């Protein structure tokens, strides 16, 4: 959705007689609207553009980005109805469970660069004859065990955030989806890795909660979703706003932002490259991904 919106905006902008707005800015506005529409997350749409597409805080662009993002969000509400996409029906309060979120953020800060290397590990498969066929076949075979291997991970993420799955089931789906996503990226399948990353973070968080016998497993699932996204995108503000807008847990925003900053800092110390470098052959091309 995000890539499609950026491509369409770029195509229209290049042919538009209105040249007062630079093409890069037009693509940025289209991307903000797409993020807000796809995830019903208007605040995350603005931060996505500032931290990832533009790569810098250009304050004078805030009004235009906010307008584009809200427009996309409103259209999405009209078509898909309102409400968080993955609402979590739990009221988290300060308790000893919150102490586990700190080591989880550190763990996922370390795992962020490892996750990116995993996604890159099968890029050789793009040179195979009929590479997309092999990618589809692999996903089909893996889905014989769990149908939630299909798609971009929305159904799997929804199941995770219900919090009623057994540890063995969560671990199995996590493993199968990691294999499927890696093969799809490697064979060049058209699609994204944003939502799959949300699932992986939530699954690791929920698994950790179950291993620790935490009484608030969904808290660690939300923290896992947020901190892994921050670690792999190096966009802590976007990840925090995305997590709270997706789940409806708005009161967690300050704590998630602190954890995201920590996870992002650790990930940057290990590797300077973010998730959006995986589609480029060299680090110099990273900035071109929007």
Q: What is the pLDDT of residues 200-231, one digit of tens each?
A: 999 999 999 999 888 888 999 999 999 999 99
| Closest C-alpha to 259, from 232, 239, 233 | 239
Contact call for residues 52 and 287 (beta carbons, < 8 A): no
The structural domains of the chain, with segments of one domain joined by +, span 2-80, 96-288
Q: Domain 96-288, what fold?
A: Clc chloride channel (1.10.3080)
Interval 100-154: pLDDT, tens: 999 999 999 999 999 999 988 888 888 888 888 888 898 899 988 888 888 888 8
pLDDT tens string 238-253: 999 999 999 999 999 9
The residues, any chain, with a CB within 8 Å of residue 187's CB and separated by 6 or more, are 122, 125, 126, 128, 131, 132, 134, 135
Residue 236 near residue 271, CB atoms below 8 Å: no
Helix axes 167-187, 194-211, angle to 10 degrees: 150
Banded model confidence at residue 93, pLDDT cuts 50, 70, 90: low
Residue 281 has pLDDT above 50, yes or no: no
User: Quick one: which of 53, 56, 50, 63 has its CA closest to 2?
Assistant: 53
pLDDT range class, residue 175, cuts 50, 70, 90 = very high
pLDDT digits (tens, 9 = 90+) for 155-173: 889 888 887 788 889 999 9
**pLDDT at 59 (0 to 100):** 86
C-beta neighbour count of 232 within 10 angstroms = 32
CA gyration radius, the chain: 19
């Amino acid at each position: 959705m995000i890539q499609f919106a950026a491509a369409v905006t770029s195509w229209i902008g290049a042919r538009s007689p209105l040249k007062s707005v630079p093409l890069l800015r037009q693509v940025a506005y289209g991307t903000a609207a797409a993020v807000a529409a796809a995830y019903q997350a208007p605040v995350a749409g603005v931060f996505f553009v500032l931290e990832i597409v533009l790569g810098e805080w250009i304050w004078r662009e805030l009004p235009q980005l906010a307008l584009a993002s809200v427009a996309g969000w409103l259209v999405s509400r009209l078509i898909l109805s309102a409400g968080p996409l993955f609402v979590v029906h739990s009221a988290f309060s300060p308790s000893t469970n919150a102490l586990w979120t700190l080591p989880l953020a550190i763990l996922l800060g370390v795992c962020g660069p490892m996750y990116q290397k995993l996604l890159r590990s099968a890029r050789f498969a793009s040179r195979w004859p009929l590479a997309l066929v092999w990618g589809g076949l692999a996903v089909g075979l893996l889905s014989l065990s769990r149908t939630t291997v299909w798609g971009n991970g929305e159904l799997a993420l929804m199941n995770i955030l219900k919090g009623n799955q057994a540890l063995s089931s969560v671990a199995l789906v996590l493993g199968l989806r990691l294999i499927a996503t890696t093969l799809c990226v490697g064979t060049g399948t058209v699609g994204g890795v944003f939502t799959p990353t949300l699932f992986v973070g939530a699954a690791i968080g929920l698994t950790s909660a179950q291993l620790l016998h935490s009484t608030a497993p969904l808290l660690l699932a939300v923290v896992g979703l947020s901190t892994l996204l921050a670690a792999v995108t190096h966009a802590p503000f976007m990840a925090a706003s995305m997590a709270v807008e997706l789940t409806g847990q708005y009161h967690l925003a300050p704590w998630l932002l602190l954890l995201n900053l920590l996870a992002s800092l650790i990930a940057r110390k290990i590797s300077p490259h973010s998730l959006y470098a995986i589609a480029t052959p060299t680090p110099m091309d990273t900035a071109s991904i929007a």
